A and B are shown apart, each in its own frame.
Chain A
Amino acid sequence: MVDVIVFLVSAAIILGGAVGVIFSSHPVRAALSLIATFFGVAVLFVQQQAHFLAVVQVVVYAGAIVVLFLFVIMLLGVDSVDDLRDEPLAGQRATAALLGGMLLALILGGLFLSGPGLDTDGGALALTGQSSQAGPVNQLDESQSDIDLLADDLFTRNLLSFEATALLLTIATVGAVILVRNRGGEDLVVDEPGTAKR
């Protein structure tokens, strides 16, 4: 019963944060709503015994990424408020809502209409080809901590991918530096559409 309450409260926080991101006219408010969503997701991770991922979720998402967002918002000026009543492209909202509803219906349809549910053993059998009781390859062992299992999987079966992420982060850092580097004071050239470029 406590599980259900925790799930419902964190689901409300997650969806409320998502609504805040979509509907707030001010970018700072959207970023703060994003923190609520990330914390809710972290609570759900704890509920599913993924403790390490919950910590990483809070540190990386709610910490680093949201701070980066806020930093850029402050750098670009906090006064840029979108007028949400203004709809430059006629029918865009209705089309977006329709497409979103169709996407949701598609996912839920796939979830509920395809074979046995995941909660039964037959569903797990249909997805993996083996019963969840039979002991799959990378079995979650309750006696071992989450971080042990993750490290074991990461440094044995996914070592190459792990090293590729190191390369990816290096490339991202170098790319960020190159993109925002100021080459000899040529900044603040406002090239409006239609005017000749430099």
Chain B
Amino acid sequence: MEVTATWYLVLSAVLFSMGFVGLLVRRNPLIMFMCIELMLNAVNISFVAFSNALDDIAGRTAVFFVLVVAAAEVVVGLSLVVALMRRRPALSVDDLTSLRG
């Protein structure tokens, strides 16, 4: 038995779906960001698996860019959370109803 690209892709699909479910279920914005990180990691796994299977370095370069964008996204997202928390002590996205018409 040998670990092939399909194994990695199945693991990636399961991890992506778990991140998606977590994003829909949780209401703490910090944990929602963590679920987005799970989904990004799932995509990274499949990028590296494709890179190996197709013998092409471009997949790994894509992982590099995903890492950079994830870091930037977390910085902006967490500062948004901090800015929100200054005004609302309860940490739940259900309370953010200012834009409701």
> B-facing mask of A130-167, CB < 8 A → 1, else 0?
00100011111000001001101110011001000100
Complex CA–CA separation, A171 to B33 (angstroms): 20
Question: Is there an interface contact between B18 and A19, defined as CB atoms closer than 8 Å?
Answer: yes
Given A37-B38, A92-B25, A100-B20, CB of A127 within 8 Å of CB of B54: yes
Q: In A40-97, which residues have CB < 8 Å from any B CB?
A: 41, 44-45, 47-50, 53, 56-57, 60-61, 64-65, 68-69, 72-73, 75-76, 80, 82, 88, 92-93, 95-97
Q: For residue B76, which residues in chain A have a CB less than 8 angstroms away from its CB?
A: 172, 175-176, 179
* A34 (CB) vs chain B CBs: closest residue: B34
* A136 (CB) vs chain B CBs: closest residue: B56
Question: Is there an interface contact between B56 and A68, defined as CB atoms closer than 8 Å?
Answer: no
Q: For residue B97, which residues in chain A have a CB less than 8 angstroms away from its CB?
A: 193
Question: Is there an interface contact between B37 and A168, defined as CB atoms closer than 8 Å?
Answer: no
Q: Which of B18, B64, B79 contacts A100 (CB 8 A)?
A: B18
Question: Is there an interface contact between A191 and B88, defined as CB atoms closer than 8 Å?
Answer: yes
Question: Is there an interface contact between B11 and A14, defined as CB atoms closer than 8 Å?
Answer: yes
Q: For residue A175, which residues in chain B have a CB less than 8 angstroms away from its CB?
A: 75-76, 79
Q: For residue A176, which residues in chain B have a CB less than 8 angstroms away from its CB?
A: 75-76, 78-79
- Secondary structure call for the A interface: helix
Select the residue from A14, A31, A149, A189 with max chain B CB neighbours within 10 A: A14
Which residues in B have some Cβ–Cβ distance to A below 8 Å? 1-11, 13-22, 24-28, 30-31, 33-35, 37-38, 41, 44-45, 48-58, 60-61, 63-65, 67-76, 78-83, 85-89, 91, 94-95, 97-98
21 contacts between A and B (CB under 8 A): A3-B2, A3-B3, A7-B3, A21-B22, A22-B22, A27-B28, A34-B38, A53-B48, A60-B67, A80-B91, A100-B20, A107-B17, A118-B4, A127-B54, A132-B55, A136-B56, A139-B56, A146-B60, A153-B58, A165-B69, A180-B82
Which residues in A have some Cβ–Cβ distance to B below 8 Å? 1, 3-4, 7, 11, 14-15, 18-19, 21-22, 27, 30-31, 34, 37-38, 41, 44-45, 47-50, 53, 56-57, 60-61, 64-65, 68-69, 72-73, 75-76, 80, 82, 88, 92-93, 95-97, 99-101, 103-104, 107-108, 111, 117-119, 123-124, 127-128, 132, 136-140, 146, 149-150, 152-154, 157-158, 161, 165, 168-169, 171-173, 175-176, 179-180, 187-193
